[in-house]
Amino acid sequence: MAAIGHLSDIIDAHGYPTQYDGIKAKESALRLCREHLGNRPQAALELALTANCRLAYSEAVDYLEDGFRDCQDLSDPFLGVGGRTLAVDCAVHGNNYIKANTIVSDLGENIDAITPANANIVYSSVRGVGIHPAVPLILDKCLTSLPTSAIGRNAAELLLKEYEETSRIADKVSLISLGAGCYGWLQLNKYLLRKVDSISNSMPFNMSANTIENACRMMEDDFSRSSDPLSYTAAASVQGIPMPRSIPYGFLYNHECDDRYLENDFEVLRILNGERAAAFKNHGCSGARVYVLVTSWAVDVPRLERTLAAYMQDDNYRLLLVSTQFGEPPGWVKGCPNTRIAHVPVPHEGYTWTSGQWTQEGYDFDLAVRKVVRDTMLGIAAA
């Protein structure tokens, strides 16, 4: 195992044109090292971490699952509970909820593996699958292990207290993200407002970097170019990571950077986006539902209302617009009786939820957003 760590250090120290090139070189070297030393737990973990660094979440899960086949010990320092929670996080970010749910179920059946040493990472990770039968059991175990002063403990207590009622609400009401980033999908799952299934998992705006104007453009265009190979290109991040980008709609698919999404003119992604468009039109426009947009950006409310209304198959919905801009509310005005507007300002200027979510002010902000969303879902469930 020392050889793996030593090689990893050498590769990290090497000079490459971009961070992405260095990550790929390290990954190749680790794969070669694994061939010689065998699929040891540390090798599987190192490979998963390098794939995670280049946002290749599905490949990271594959590396970890290779390791789990040979290491089923939940006390293992590399692939035990820590490795399982990493796999949940990668599966959630890679949109593979079947694998994430399987791991969470396994943790629920091995509850004694949760200790004060790992309770915090377990608590942060397993909530990513949304409402799930094992989650309340795991949360309860985490609370017995977390100190009373632990950051985010108040959120765990509230989520556990309201779990049964929220689960019943989610049975009745679908929660559909309109994008403008991943918050409306990832964080609202983490705050147990959604039962993730094959339909909710297939909505087109769940996980991409986009503006609501671009989402409107995509809907106004009836998603017609989502499957066109000429509509995609690869845009590089500042680290040099190639990311699929929709040219006509401006969507950046930053959760689908695995090689399989980039290959063959983005064929896998194009097929997936065609399926997402069909899921939205066939399953996302009827029944009790709340469309949610959480953003600090400007929103053309009348355009969004018109665009969405063109798809609606019934009137049993709410459009919830949550402004998070710091300071005063933006002055949005609704034109449709189905629209709800709320202002939940971020804790301070420059706050970003991706880094701030682990702080107490981040937990409190997320709980405030959750209350607005939950109350809206409850209102339509009771209607």
Q: What's the distance, CA 252 to chain centroid?
A: 15
Residue 61 lies in a domain: no
Q: What is the number of domains present in the chain?
A: 1
Residue 378 lies in a domain: yes
Number of helices (H) and strands (E), helices first, in the chain?
16, 6
What is Dmax (Cα atoms) for the chain?
66
Task: State which amino acid sits at residue 15.
Answer: G
What H or E segment, with its residue span, contains residue 177?
A: strand 174-177
For tokens 């949550």, the residue is 322
Residue 19 lies in a domain: no
Backbone angles phi, psi at 42, to 5 degrees: -65, -35
Concatenate the DSSP letters of all residues of 192-204 into one string.
T--B--TTGGG-T
CA-wise closest residue to 302 among 344, 345, 342, 341: 341
Spatial distance between the Cα atoms of 269 and 170, rounded to a whole number of angstroms? 29
Spatial distance between the Cα atoms of 54 and 23, rounded to a whole number of angstroms? 7
Q: What's the distance, CA 374 to chain centroid?
A: 19
Q: How far is CA 68 from CA 41, 72, 290, in A?
A: 8, 6, 38
Residue 309 lies in a domain: yes
- Residue 101 is predicted with a pLDDT of 97
Three-class SS state of 328 = coil
Q: Is 152 left (phi over 0), alpha (psi -120 to 50) or beta?
A: left
Which domain range does residue 176 map to? Answer: 165-382
Residue 304 lies in a domain: yes
CA-wise closest residue to 66 among 94, 37, 44, 99: 44
Residue 146 lies in a domain: no
For tokens 């019934």, the residue is 314
Token output for 303:
């355009």
Residue 120 lies in a domain: no
Residue 337 lies in a domain: yes
- Residue 6 is predicted with a pLDDT of 42
Q: Using the 8-state DSSP alphabet, how is residue 229 labeled? A: G
- Residue 33 is predicted with a pLDDT of 86
pLDDT, block means (10 residues), the chain with 383 residues: 40 64 91 85 94 96 95 96 98 96 97 96 96 97 95 96 98 96 96 95 94 97 94 92 96 96 97 96 98 97 98 98 96 97 97 95 98 98 89
- Residue 14 is predicted with a pLDDT of 53
